[in-house]
Structure 1
Amino acid sequence: MPFAHYGVLSGTLYRHYRDQPDDQGRWFHVNLEVDAPAGRYHCAIDVDSHKSTVGVRWKSFVLDPADLGPSAALAPGYHELAPRADSGALDYLRHPALVDRSGVLFQRRPPSWLEELLALFGARPWHAGSNVDAAAALEPILVVGRRILVFGEPFTDDPEGDLGMHNVHQNQGDPAGSQWWQENGVWQDGATLTQRPDGRYDVFLNMFSSQSSRTDADGHPVA
């Protein structure tokens, strides 16, 4: 079933760091610490998968606050969002400001001149690469002291009661038979946004390569 709780954390970025590599040298998250009225939140951003055959794709671009919708005006703190287009929730495949209108997937980052040309046509291309590539695309927007919006699922079962956000990635399109099939849903996607000095938002979206870019009304993949 879709998430019982989904929302956005609005706060101030305190710092970020990468996971420590495991005994195979792998690491899976860029971790954020975000200050908000309830305390300091830990947010885990996926830049790889525990399954070696499943990689991560990402895209980054800039949005005006008006394009983001109600979430841009929220006060600091965690806010529950209903899975609807008018609540401030995000959906990679349905939100007009997030949809990829190019239909293009680059295996590596395109040259800057091509990115600028694609932007003129409203393109939102996905990129593919290693966890290092994905982290390198995310980390430039993680400026200490910036206002940050982290969309995803709040920690609700931490025995120590720690504050945090996870599932900060696409949360639909997982294939039938996968352990995440039951969590598919629309208007519950995760994302990381930080606000520039000019008021606009740097946006980082991420999804697993096993997830479909076409889904039905329940968030399940369609051919």
Structure 2
Amino acid sequence: MPFQHYGVLAGTLRQHFRDTPDTEGAWFHVNLRVDAPDGRYKCAVDVDSHESTTGVQWKTFTLPAAALGPVASMPGGYHELDRAAGSGALDYIRHPALRGRPPWPSWLPAVLRERLERWVKLRQPWTSGSNLDAALALEPILVVGRPILVFGEPFTAGLGVHNIHQNQGDPYGTQWWPENGIWQDGGTMTRRPDGDYDVFLNKFTSQKDHTDADGHPVQEVSAGRT
């Protein structure tokens, strides 16, 4: 079943560091320490995959705050989000600002639509590489002191967020298949001085880019075949 809890942590980035060979355990993470009114949160951005040495994929780009919906103005702390469009939840496949050419709402002023079109990297391909490549791509946006939004699943005990990556499209038979779900993807975003957000999205090569309403991968059919 999808995550029981999913949401976004809003706070201030105070520290970031990589796992070391002595501490990384089964997976390699970039660790974040985020201050919020209720305390300091631990966040683990998973940038590793055991599928291959290039089993992790990522995108980095910049978005205006208006593209993020209500989450850009939420106060500090962890906030549960509805798994639905418009709530502020992320879905790499369905969110207008995270997929191909977005269908911008008709009520948006023309000048804002033009800014959105310019800043979103339309149909941007995923970059593939090693865990160290992914860490190097993420770290430039991790400016200490910046406001930060971290999307994912909250810890069951203590202050923290994990599953900060795509959380749908995992293949049948894997241990992650039961957790597939739409509008529950993770992500890391930091607010720039101009108010825009630097965005880092990450997934694994084993996760598919086409999913059904339950977040399970959809079998792609070649043209001309039934």
TM-score (norm 2): 0.84
- Once the two structures are TM-superposed, the CA of residue 124 in structure 1 deviates from its matched residue by 2.1
1:12 matched to which residue of 2?
Answer: 12
* Aligned counterpart, 1:65: 65
Query: RMSD between aligned alpha carbons?
Result: 2.2
The Cα offsets for residues 153-201 of structure 1, whole Å up to 9 and x where unpaired, read as 0001xxxx42100000000000000000000000000000000000000
Matched, 1:213 2:209: yes
CA distance in structure 1 between the partners assigned to 2:163 and 2:92 by the alignment:
14
Q: Which residue of 2 aligns with 1:186?
A: 182
Tell me: CA distance 1:48–1:120, structure 2 relative to 1, closer, same or farther (3 Å): closer
**For the structure 1 residues 21 and 201, does the alpha-carbon distance in structure 2 shift closer, same or farther, using more than 3 Å as the test?**
same
Correspondence for 2:218: 222
> Which residue is 2:173 aligned to?
177
- Residue pair 1:27, 1:131 contacting (<8 A) in 2 also: no
| Aligned equivalent of 2:200 | 204
Give the aligned partner of residue 144 of structure 1: 144
Q: Distance in 1 between matches of 2:128 and 2:66?
A: 29
Query: Structure 2 regions of 5+ residues with no counterpart?
Result: 102-117, 220-226
Q: Give the corresponding residue for 1:47.
A: 47
How far the C-alpha of 1:27 sits from its partner, in A, is 5.8
Whole-angstrom CA distance in 2 between matches of 1:59 and 1:121: 10
| Matched-pair contact (CA < 8 Å) for 2:61–2:120 | no
Structure 1 residues 212 and 35: CA distance shift in structure 2, 3 A: same
Could you tell me how far 1:50 is from its partner in structure 2?
Answer: 4.5
CA deviations on 1:47-105 (whole Å, 9 max, x unpaired) are 1125557711000000000111111111110000010002110000000100146xxxx
Aligned to 2:129: 129
Deviating beyond 6 angstroms after TM superposition, the runs of 4 or more aligned structure 1 residues are 23-26, 118-121
- Alignment-derived partner of residue 89 in structure 1: 89
Q: Report what 1:165 is aligned to.
A: 161
Q: Does 1:154 align with 2:150?
A: no
Aligned-pair identity (%): 69
* Counterpart secondary structure, 1:175: coil
Q: Which amino acid aligns with 2:80?
A: E
Q: What is the TM-score with the length of structure 1 in the denominator?
A: 0.85
User: Which amino acid in structure 2 is aligned with residue 175 of structure 1?
Assistant: P
Task: Provide, for residues 26-51 of structure 1, a one-character-per-residue CA deviation record: whole Å limited to 9, x for no partner.
Answer: 86100000000110000000111255
Say which is worse superposed, 49-58 or 20-29, in terms of deviation: 20-29
